[in-house]
A and B are shown apart, each in its own frame.
Chain A
Amino acid sequence: MSNLTNFTKGFIKENPVFIMLLGLCPTLGVSTSAFNGLGMGLATAFVLIMSNLVISLIKNLIPAKVRIPSFIVVIASFVTIVQLVLEGFVPALYESLGLFIPLIVVNCVVLGRAEAFASKNTVFSSIIDGTGMGLGFTFALTLLGSVREILGSGNIFGMNLGFYPLDADGNPVVMLVFVLAPGAFIALAYLVALNAMLKQRMSKK
């Protein structure tokens, strides 16, 4: 596998959210706005790249029987680092992501890539894999967040698009369901279908 396909597979062909359906808990939970999706995606991408890097470095030192606990310790350390840094330097994002930051530890995308890729491949290709998968995850979350924000509150990245009619009090009449949990499933299903269509088209060529 060339480095380029290794990198790009995370976006459409093996997108962690749309194809592998991994890490759905944070995906559905925080994608209420494009900004939250982007922030969560980047935080996860950082953890993914760093844990892939470290795990591919120490993969030969870890006995097979204790590899999962070892991976989890590495991942949990990076998640805690992300949490502390966000709390100190980007408190606004830290607040809106809240509980979902510590939950990156159990995001199966991260452990999945550690087990399936980084523990078997070289350091360089593991970094490429982590970057591709991390950005693919970010892309998916930002897209889902944008769809939900546009439909559910008529905004994008907090900017009002102003296409919804206003009610008597001057508040826009919106499709609130998209900001709530059911809307997350509906929007995700459509995006998964769209992605499957794209993948099919690409493989035909």
Chain B
Amino acid sequence: MIAIVAYGLGNVQAIANIYRRLNVEARLVSTSEELRAADRIVLPGVGSFDWAMEALARSGLRETLDELVMGERRSVLGICVGMQMMARKSEEGTSAGLGWIDAEVKRLPQADGLMLPHMGWNDVEPRAASPLFEGLDTDARFYFLHSYYFLPNDEGVVIAAADYGKQFACAVQSGNVYGAQFHPEKSHGWGIRLLKNFAEM
């Protein structure tokens, strides 16, 4: 069973709908108890870093998440700000992140009059053969909407890169912790495939 963390933001309904149509058991969870029942966890997110961290704190799920993800090593997929929250900190705000991956979140450099936020459909290049990108090795594209990017200390966690002003990590994996900077729940067939992969890998 996939737990979609409902902590007040992120398109939880769209993710739930996708899983329902795929006949994958998924539930919106807002209590620790419901969260514990999950095999895998999706942590969605839209909005600013601090706003998201605050919402997560208010939800009362933070401790259980840490326990399940870092303690019991259950698989988790962070989406957009959900992925950024998994870093230690972000230039966008002052809150501390979850620290599940040794990384920082920095603002995309605005050289050459680059438009920010990075908004729209962009190509994604899977790097290592990650089960998350099964069937998505060629012609994969997803919708991006962000001004900050994930910068891990260890390049080895990068499983896919995208190019906007600079090459940056748009998907990462550190053990059981996965992150996607783009919005798979808003990326039509490509996103559906990725979410399916996360459920089945």
A and B co-occur in one complex: no
Residues on A close to B: CB < 8 A?
none
Residues on B close to A: CB < 8 A?
none
